[in-house]
Amino acid sequence: MYKCKYFKIEELVSPELYNSLGEQKCWELLPEIVKQQLDAIRDEFYIYSSMGIIINNWANGGQYKYSGVRPVDCNIGAANSFHKKWIAFDLKASQIQNTDKLQEFMRIMAKSFNIARVEKFEHTPSWVHIEIATDQYVNEPYWFTP
């Protein structure tokens, strides 16, 4: 089983999931390709910008706890959100004023990371919503409006 090199599990799942399932089970439930692609994205974005990527930061006292995997009964986002299917993540540049750099990077690189869908940036002014394909090869991501 692959565990991310650049992310702790707390950065990828909500506190409710972490506390109810535990660290090991959360790693097991995340699809292998998702973990590998998230690491690749973080690695390449750092090379591109010298910045990191934040998903959740609740474990360090931060405000983000539903930017990664959400519980099925979570009232944040859509009822059938891909966050609840363990494949959607809201990425933020570690320096929030540089969201445009992260968006630029994703515009250029999205198809390199097997991303199935990206939410159009006019709807995500301070983050980038991605959904990673787990069951197919994606040549070109679909850019969607919520």
Q: Where are the domains of the chain?
A: 9-144
Tokens standing for residue 130: 């991605």
Cα distance between residue 16 and residue 76, in whole Å: 13
Q: How many CB atoms lie within 10 A of CB 144?
A: 13
Which element (helix H / strand E) includes 108? helix 99-109
Q: Decide if 71 contacts 19 (C-beta within 8 A).
A: no
pLDDT range class, residue 128, cuts 50, 70, 90? very high
Cα distance between residue 113 and residue 59, in whole Å: 27
pLDDT range class, residue 3, cuts 50, 70, 90? very high
pLDDT digits (tens, 9 = 90+) for 78-106: 999 999 999 999 999 998 778 999 999 99
Return mean pLDDT, the chain: 95
* pLDDT of 97: 78
- For the structural domain made of 9-144, what CATH number should be given? 3.30.1380
Residues 6+ apart with CB under 8 A from 4: 12, 35, 38, 39
Cα distance between residue 146 and residue 125, in whole Å: 13
Length of the chain: 146
Tokens standing for residue 51: 């910045």
Distance of CA 131 to the CA centre of its chain: 7
Residue 53 has pLDDT above 80, yes or no: yes
